[in-house]
Amino acid sequence: MRWETHLHTKEGSACASASAAEMAKTCKEAGYDGMFVTDHFYHGNTCVDRDLPWEEWARQFSLGYYHAKEIGDRIGLRVCFGWEYSWDGNDFLTYGLSPQWLAAHPETVRVTPYEYLKLIREAGGCIVHAHPFRQEWYVKMIKLLPDLVDAVEVYNGGNHEDVYNDRALWYAESFGMKQTSGSDTHWSGVFTGGILTDCEMNSTEDYGGIIRSGGITGLIRAGKDCPF
């Protein structure tokens, strides 16, 4: 199966221009079997009003996922929930936990980033360090936490320099970490990354086990399927 692992919608991300419905349609057209919606989280570039009470914030933040899933169910594209946690420009893709779990856990935005990474994994979720070597104005410091993440995103379609992906691969290889890839698309029709799996994935809860057991059998890089 081909899965998109890193994607933004205008329902949840201030920097995205495509609706979740458009994303689901174009992702299917691009030949994917499934996609994760990973909008920018509370301390990142979310478009959901941070003054809302937590449960309402979490409900509105999850709308990109629900809207994409509605279309996905109709056209035969699996849609799973995730989000992209931001720590001063360092981004940690978070999977394996449901919108209901998020609504019940307001402490996710109160604890320190270090505590956050531990909390998510203790709750059964998993963390992928997104584009760890990207250098942009909003990245204040490159931070590496190999013991607190489950995998490294070694290809990111939003990186402006190839060397950022090359360095991420070097990082994953030198620490013996699992590897993922994602388009980081904010506009419909542009899908360049993703993962290949030889097993079924039906919900976000399945992804951590697939990563840890070696169920990712290849990566999509610059639109090309590259088996390991």
Indicate whether 15 belongs to the interface with Zn ion (CB under 5 A): yes
CB of 44 to Zn ion, least distance (A): 8
Interface characters, 155-194, with Zn ion (x: CB under 5 A):
-----------------------------x----------
Sheet holding 2-4, edge to edge: 178-182, 151-156, 126-130, 90-95, 78-87, 34-40, 2-4, 194-197, 216-221, 224-227
Interface characters, 103-132, with Zn ion (x: CB under 5 A):
------------------------------
Interface characters, 48-87, with Zn ion (x: CB under 5 A):
------------------------------------x---
State which residue, 45 or 217, has the beta carbon closest to Zn ion: 45
CB of 56 to Zn ion, least distance (A): 23
Indicate whether 47 belongs to the interface with Zn ion (CB under 5 A): no
CB of 57 to Zn ion, least distance (A): 18
State which residue, 107 or 168, has the beta carbon closest to Zn ion: 168
State which residue, 137 or 228, has the beta carbon closest to Zn ion: 137
State which residue, 150 or 184, has the beta carbon closest to Zn ion: 184
CB of 16 to Zn ion, least distance (A): 6
With a CB cutoff of 8 Å and minimum separation 6, the contacts of 149 are 92, 117, 127, 128, 129, 177
CB of 116 to Zn ion, least distance (A): 17
Site size toward Zn ion, by CB under 5 A: 3
State which residue, 160 or 227, has the beta carbon closest to Zn ion: 160
Closest CA to 36 of 80, 70, 73, 67: 80
Contacts with Zn ion by CB under 5 A lie at 15, 84, 184
